[in-house]
């Protein structure tokens, strides 16, 4: 089988955006991460009420997907080299679809844990491989927008967790798992022919650069990117996990209001990736990332201290844009730090994805412990997330030079 992950050389990208390939990328992120991870949360109450598992086991089973995601992030590039990116992505989407159907038959806790783990592995592999498979076929001036379109699947999954899953639950819990599996299988089939079977080749000079190791300055810059991405992972967990509960119980507004604010969060998640990707194209990844981090810190702070419904709603939408929207921004930063070096870009993105997965999992457990220890104080968790965002902004600002009093100097220019 040919290895379409080969990076040695690439011809000029096509003049237009390959929409079928873009659809394949969006479908992969929707199936492997958007649905496989986020559709589980609204199923938790029903899993407990239907006595499929004990409450403590349901939370434990939820963590299986995060553990699998970390495994997938670590093994994504070796799998891509072995099978070729296109086939690896097809098989991971099929695995995620199969895992949904398998979860409709709760034979045992171990059975369910294993399939949730495998769904996480599929998501991790997809996150590592999908951008390096699709973006070489996209014109340089549109790569940020294209990356946003690919990772919009995460946002669709978040939104779908608050809309599609409740509708399916009206048919029954077993039917919900099967329905999610059928939807994933349909997206897998529709995108099957959309994957490019071979990587595009770059000019000889670029191939020479790609074969060399990153220089010392590039390694320092990438280390900074990884630290910032780890802080972002810490920052997104509190609102992602506790927003609905904060509105429903923390503010005493009830479960219906909690669901409404989660839908607002989901709407933000849909528009976030393409909006942030377009910002990276227009402003450059550095300026765009600093601006976004500053806005996010203000939005989380508003959520922490305000009780005005309009402010809370606006903050929910803004905060929702960040978890999926940060992905194309950080990817654009990695590509900027390693220009014309596709193999090095892929390796650096794999490491960044692994760092994010690790710190997101660690943060999830740490926040759960802090939540119990603090007497279920949601505002404290949001404050910690806000501090993480501020630290990421300060680290990027002072780590790369200070110019603008608001967001610092952009260290890369917009793509042309």
Give the 3-state DSSP-derived string for 233-268, with helices as H, strands as E and coil as C: HHHHHHHHHHHHHHHHHHCCCCHHHHHHHHHHHHHH
Q: Which residues, 6+ apart, have CB-to-CB distance to 350 below 8 Å?
A: 73, 76, 77, 128
At 34 the three-state DSSP class reads helix
Domain range for 227 is 216-402
Q: What is the pLDDT of residue 187?
A: 95
- Spatial separation of the C-alpha atoms in residues 66 and 19, rounded to whole Å: 30
What DSSP assignment string belongs to 189-249? HHHGGGS-SSPPPPPHHHHHHHHSPPPHHHHHHHHHHHHHHHHHHHHHHHHHHHHHHIIII
Given a cut of 60, whether residue 271 has pLDDT beyond it is yes
Given a cut of 80, whether residue 209 has pLDDT beyond it is no
**4, part of any domain:** no
CATH number where 82 lies: 1.20.1250.20
Least confident range from 22-31, 346-355, 403-412: namely 403-412
Lookup: tokens for 123: 């998501």
Q: Which residues, 6+ apart, have CB-to-CB distance to 18 below 8 Å?
A: 137, 138, 196
Q: What is the pLDDT of residue 9?
A: 35
Domain-ending residue, one of 148, 173, 201: 201
For the chain, what is the mean pLDDT? 80
User: Which of 113, 370, 70, 124 is closest to 237 using CA atoms?
Assistant: 370
- Spatial separation of the C-alpha atoms in residues 332 and 338, rounded to whole Å: 10
- Spatial separation of the C-alpha atoms in residues 336 and 330, rounded to whole Å: 10
Regarding whether 179 and 231 lie in a shared domain, the answer is: no
The one-character DSSP state at 5 is T
Query: Phi/psi at 253 (nearest 5 deg)?
Result: -95, -10
Regarding whether 384 and 263 lie in a shared domain, the answer is: yes
- Spatial separation of the C-alpha atoms in residues 117 and 170, rounded to whole Å: 26
Regarding whether 196 and 238 lie in a shared domain, the answer is: no
Given a cut of 70, whether residue 204 has pLDDT beyond it is no
User: Which of 48, 265, 45, 133 is closest to 257 using CA atoms?
Assistant: 265
Lookup: tokens for 414: 């917009």
The one-character DSSP state at 3 is -
- R_g (Cα) of the chain, nearest Å: 21
Domain-ending residue, one of 170, 201, 232: 201
User: Which of 1, 198, 186, 2 is closest to 94 using CA atoms?
Assistant: 186
Check the CA dihedral 126-128-131-132 and report its sign.
negative
Share above pLDDT 90 across residues of the chain, in percent, rounded to a whole number: 24
**206, part of any domain:** no
**409, part of any domain:** no
User: Which of 205, 206, 281, 203 is closest to 12 using CA atoms?
Assistant: 203
Q: How many domains does the chain have?
A: 2
Regarding whether 167 and 87 lie in a shared domain, the answer is: yes
Q: What is the pLDDT of residue 358?
A: 86
Q: Which residues, 6+ apart, have CB-to-CB distance to 330 below 8 Å?
A: 225, 228, 229, 232, 289, 352
Q: What is the pLDDT of residue 250?
A: 82
**411, part of any domain:** no
Owner of token pair 């379109």: 149
Cβ–Cβ < 8 Å for 322, 237: no
Given a cut of 70, whether residue 30 has pLDDT beyond it is yes
Given a cut of 50, whether residue 387 has pLDDT beyond it is yes
- Spatial separation of the C-alpha atoms in residues 327 and 161, rounded to whole Å: 20
Given a cut of 90, whether residue 389 has pLDDT beyond it is yes
Query: Phi/psi at 51 (nearest 5 deg)?
Result: 60, 30
Average pLDDT over residues 355-369: 83
Regarding whether 241 and 159 lie in a shared domain, the answer is: no
List pLDDT tens digits, range 235-245.
998 888 778 77
- Spatial separation of the C-alpha atoms in residues 41 and 11, rounded to whole Å: 44
Least confident range from 12-21, 96-105, 156-165, 222-231: namely 12-21
The one-character DSSP state at 136 is G
User: Which of 107, 104, 138 is closest to 23 using CA atoms?
Assistant: 138
Given a cut of 80, whether residue 385 has pLDDT beyond it is yes
**33, part of any domain:** yes
Q: What is the pLDDT of residue 114?
A: 92
- Spatial separation of the C-alpha atoms in residues 257 and 136, rounded to whole Å: 43
Regarding whether 113 and 233 lie in a shared domain, the answer is: no
**5, part of any domain:** no
- Spatial separation of the C-alpha atoms in residues 34 and 38, rounded to whole Å: 6
Cβ–Cβ < 8 Å for 357, 173: no
Lookup: tokens for 175: 């039917």
Least confident range from 50-64, 177-191, 225-239, 286-300: namely 50-64
Candidate ranges 248-252, 382-386, 408-412; pick with highest mean pLDDT: 382-386
Q: Say which residue, 250 or 224, is predicted with more confidence.
A: 224
Regarding whether 310 and 226 lie in a shared domain, the answer is: yes
Regarding whether 189 and 333 lie in a shared domain, the answer is: no
Regarding whether 191 and 231 lie in a shared domain, the answer is: no
Regarding whether 291 and 179 lie in a shared domain, the answer is: no
Candidate ranges 7-11, 253-257, 329-333, 392-396; pick with highest mean pLDDT: 392-396
- pTM, two decimals, is 0.75
Regarding whether 249 and 185 lie in a shared domain, the answer is: no
Cβ–Cβ < 8 Å for 120, 36: yes
**248, part of any domain:** yes
**210, part of any domain:** no
Owner of token pair 């639950």: 169
Regarding whether 248 and 186 lie in a shared domain, the answer is: no
């Amino acid at each position: 089988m040919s290895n379409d992950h080969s990076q040695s050389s690439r011809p000029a990208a096509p003049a237009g955006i390959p929409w079928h390939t873009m659809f394949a990328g969006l479908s992969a992120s929707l199936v492997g991460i958007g649905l496989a991870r986020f559709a589980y949360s609204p199923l938790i109450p029903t899993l407990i009420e239907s006595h499929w598992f004990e409450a403590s086991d349901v939370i434990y089973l939820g963590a299986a997907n995060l553990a699998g995601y970390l495994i997938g992030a670590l093994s994504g590039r070796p799998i891509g080299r072995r099978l070729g990116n296109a086939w690896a992505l097809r098989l991971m989407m099929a695995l995620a679809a199969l895992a949904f159907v398998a979860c409709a038959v709760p034979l045992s806790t171990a059975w369910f844990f294993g399939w949730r783990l495998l769904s996480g592995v599929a998501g991790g592999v997809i996150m590592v491989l999908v951008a390096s498979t699709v973006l070489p076929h996209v014109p340089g001036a549109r790569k940020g927008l294209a990356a946003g379109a690919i990772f919009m699947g995460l946002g669709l999954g978040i939104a779908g967790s608050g809309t599609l899953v409740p509708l399916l639950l009206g048919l029954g819990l077993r039917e919900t798992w099967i329905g999610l599996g059928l939807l994933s299988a349909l997206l897998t089939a529709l995108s099957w022919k959309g994957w490019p079977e071979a990587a595009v080749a770059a000019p000889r000079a670029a191939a020479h650069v790609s074969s060399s190791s990153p220089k010392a300055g590039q390694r320092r810059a990438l280390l900074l990117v990884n630290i910032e991405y780890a802080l972002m992972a810490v920052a997104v967990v509190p609102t992602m996990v506790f927003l609905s509960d904060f509105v429903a119980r923390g503010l005493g507004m009830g479960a219906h209001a909690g669901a409404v604010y989660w839908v607002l969060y989901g709407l933000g998640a849909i528009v976030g990736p393409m909006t942030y990707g377009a910002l990276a194209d227009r402003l450059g990844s550095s300026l765009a990332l600093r601006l976004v981090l500053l806005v996010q810190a203000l939005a989380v702070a508003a959520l922490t201290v305000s009780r005005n419904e309009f402010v809370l709603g606006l903050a929910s939408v803004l905060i929702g844009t960040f978890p999926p929207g940060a992905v194309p921004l950080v990817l654009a930063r990695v590509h900027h730090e390693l220009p014309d070096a596709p193999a090095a870009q892929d390796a650096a993105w794999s490491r960044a994805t692994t760092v994010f997965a690790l710190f997101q999992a660690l943060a999830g457990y740490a926040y759960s412990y802090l939540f119990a220890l603090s007497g279920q104080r949601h505002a404290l968790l949001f404050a910690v997330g806000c501090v993480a965002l501020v630290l990421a902004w300060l680290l990027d600002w002072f780590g790369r030079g200070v110019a603008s009093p608001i967001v610092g100097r952009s260290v890369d220019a917009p793509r042309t």
